[in-house]
Amino acid sequence: MTVGDQLHQTLTSLEGAKTNLEKFALSTNDKQAQKMYNQAAQQVKGVANQLQGRVNYVEQEEPAYNKRTGATNKAQNKNQQ
């Protein structure tokens, strides 16, 4: 698994965690728990946004890490050999 794959997998996991926290907030009647879950979801969103910025930077600096173009680059390199 490449660094790019790992970064994208981590982003997906963070998005899943955020969604779960939001679901927990909706599933309880406890206002304090709702507030806690929503705050935690916002914190996870902030972490995901920071990581997305890093992913964008890494993909710009090292196109091989770009999941969208990585396969294309590999195919082009193979064809050049």
pLDDT at 68: 61
String of DSSP letters for 31-79: HHHHHHHHHHHHHHHHHHHHHHHHHHHHHHH-GGG-HHHHHHHHHHHHH
**12 pLDDT higher than 60:** yes
Q: Tens digit of pLDDT for each residue in 62-78?
A: 877 776 655 444 544 44
Q: Tens digit of pLDDT for each residue in 24-61?
A: 999 999 999 999 999 999 999 999 999 999 999 988 88
The domain total for the chain is: 1
pTM metric for this prediction: 0.75
Instruction: Supply the mean pLDDT for the chain.
Output: 85
**Structural domain containing residue 25:** 3-80
